[in-house]
Amino acid sequence: MEVTLNFVIVIFLIGFIGSFISGMVGIGGAIIKYPMLLYLPPIFGVAAFSAHEVSGISAVEVLFATISGVWAYRKSGYLNKTLIFYMGISILIGSFLGGLVSKVMSEGKINIVYGILAALAAVMMFVPKKGIDDISSDQVTFNKWLAAALALVIGVGSGIVGAAGAFLLVPIMLVVLKIPTRMTIASSLAITFISSIGSTFGKITTGQVELIPSIIMVIASLIASPLGAKAGQKMNTKILRVILAVFILATAVKIWVDIL
């Protein structure tokens, strides 16, 4: 892999755009950056990464994008520590179990699991959420054990497909747990960070991470993710939900196109 100025610019812009969006809407951003990393570098003639290399670079970058997004939200009052604790621990256990299960599954079955999860997430994003943002941050209540159980299931599913699972977390937090939009975005970034620790460690220890593009992407994410989080705090929550719904629907459509 030849590291040229064009290579650095293309990889940096992919990381910057993906991380800005992920910071704004509260997802790890792998669903945005994965296809960008896979398809854009060859178009610009700077590199051609394999699917394993792309997933490795994405895993490392998502880890840093989510932690810098959380840092931007640290004084906002939208980080629900109880929610992060219950769902974070459960998703970490679930993703570990899912990772073990994935070893005995064929690639086709893994893709179908991913497709079903993405389709469910897309459907949930279009369920009406009237009055959800009328609740003040200090009055938010939710069923802790339901939250933990759902996070465990999401963790298993995301562990199987090798994603952090934020695109599933967000609709479940909004629709099932009735968490207000801004709190969902901030808290899901923290939960996704916890979830991505295991996948990043696994990718690094199995040699699936390309060092130079990963460093470029991390630098881009440390700049862009807090900017996206700041932009998200100022945007109308209905617009944020529409952006989220479009990204999750696009992910579901792409996965099923690939399967079929």
* pLDDT above 70 as % of the chain: 91
Measure Cα distances from 57 to 30, 36, 48, 98, 233 in Å.
10, 12, 13, 20, 28
Q: Which residues contact 84 (CB under 8 A, 6 or more apart)?
A: 187, 190, 191, 194
Query: Is the pLDDT score of 145 beyond 90?
Result: yes
- What is the reported pTM? 0.78
> Which is higher by pLDDT, 209 or 92?
92
**For 235-245, what is each residue's pLDDT tens digit?**
887 787 788 78
**For 40-92, what is each residue's pLDDT tens digit?**
888 888 888 877 777 778 778 878 888 888 888 888 888 889 999 999 999 88
**Residue 36: which domain range?**
5-259
The whole-chain average pLDDT of the chain stands at: 81
Number of folded domains that form the chain: 1
Q: Which residues contact 104 (CB under 8 A, 6 or more apart)?
A: none
Please give the pLDDT value at position 19.
85
